[in-house]
A and B are shown apart, each in its own frame.
Chain A
Amino acid sequence: MEGTVRERVMVRLERCVGCRSCEMACRVAHSRSGILRDAVCEEPRPLRRIFVEQAADSPAPFLCRHCEDAPCVRCCPTGALAFDEESRLVVYGVERCIGCHACVMACPFGVIQPGRGDGYVVKCDRCVGREEPACVEACPTKALVLESRFLSERRRRTAIQFVQAARGGPRVEDMLASGSP
């Protein structure tokens, strides 16, 4: 079982600069040819699964969160959308889908969209066959990271801060009181 779990993508909002590299990488990764030069000419145009939205002046990327008890899965009348216990992802089975778009309406985050061409709906599949999803790979500021990397980096930072404190920096109690690490 262990090892088949597909890590989720974490978003570090404070790092996002709104360059939309992830959107482009997502389109290319889900195009027929898989390369940018040919993907731009494809018809129907490849769709993205990640969306960078602007909240006031701050960009925020959105993609499927692969919720454990997801409204989209609950609303699907045919079981085309299901939570896969093995990979811990919400997976879309196109062969069961009838195209009623109940999931599109049910998703609170608006990340399932009506499809064109193959498949009735389009959602993040966490890049089948790739170890690291295309969006994570493409993000120049590492605003998009995989869970394990997010956690290990956080541990590393915490360790650094404790070491600094031990060497005569601010007291650990003060650091904890201020909310960091």
Chain B
Amino acid sequence: MRETPTRQRLIIDFEKCCGCFACAAACPEKRIAFSDQGTERRFSAPGVCSGECETCRKVCPVDAIVLEPFPLEDDECHPPALTWTLPLVRCRRCGEPFTTEKIRRMTMEKLTMLLEAPDAVSDWVPVCLACRRIEEAHRVRTATRTLPDPLR
């Protein structure tokens, strides 16, 4: 009889991973790490993870994580640590990298599908947060200049 495994092998589908770092944020032991370097987001995760925890698999919005039981006594072959990178995109306005290319594409697709005005989506999704506010500030200013002050 085999004893119940208390370790799990971490299998990540790099093709599916969108680079949102929900897993890194959720991991109670902070074993999944990421950092943005230049125009890449680099991830690292252990090949084998201890315990019964399934947090990372549960939180992944694209179901890219699979956890497989890994026998305790199998110390000979140790699956290597996982590393993968995802390209970042630059803000259309300021040129700073702000999210992964995949997340931008997914947000575009999702919003185009959900909103009635599909063309409007490209107005803000390729722009970083601070630039969205600045662009909106300019739009609002332009709009209010042509209207009379409601309180005067």
A residues whose Cβ falls under 8 Å from a Cβ of B: 12-14, 51, 53-56, 58, 60, 62, 71, 74-75, 77, 98-102, 104-111, 113, 120, 153-154, 157, 178-181
Of A53, A75, A153, chain B has the most CB atoms within 10 Å of the CB of A53
Q: Residues of A contacting B61 with CB < 8 Å?
A: 77, 98, 100, 102
What are 22 inter-chain pairs, A to B, with CB distance below 8 A? A13-B141, A53-B136, A54-B137, A55-B137, A60-B137, A74-B111, A77-B61, A99-B22, A99-B59, A100-B61, A102-B20, A105-B107, A106-B111, A108-B136, A109-B136, A110-B124, A110-B128, A110-B130, A110-B133, A110-B136, A120-B25, A157-B152
Q: Give complex CA distance A28, B63 in Å.
A: 39
Q: Residues of B contacting A98 with CB < 8 Å?
A: 22, 25-26, 59, 61
Specify the main secondary structure of chain B where it touches its partner. Answer: helix
Q: Residues of A contacting B132 with CB < 8 Å?
A: 107-110
**Mask of B38-69 contacts with A, CB within 8 angstroms, 1/0:** 00000000000000000000010100000000
Q: Give complex CA distance A154, B25 in Å.
A: 47
CB of B131 to closest CB in A, whole Å? 7
B residues whose Cβ falls under 8 Å from a Cβ of A: 20-22, 25-26, 59, 61, 99, 103-104, 107, 110-111, 114-115, 123-125, 127-134, 136-138, 140-141, 144, 147-152
A180 touches B138 (CB 8 A): no
A71 touches B114 (CB 8 A): yes
**Sorted from nearest, which 10 A-B pairs have the closest CB atoms?**
A110-B132, A55-B137, A99-B25, A110-B129, A98-B59, A60-B137, A179-B148, A100-B20, A105-B107, A53-B137
Quick one: given A108-B124, A113-B129, are A55 and B110 in contact (CB under 8 Å)? no
Q: Residues of A contacting B107 with CB < 8 Å?
A: 75, 102, 105-106
Of A12, A54, A100, A106, chain B has the most CB atoms within 10 Å of the CB of A100
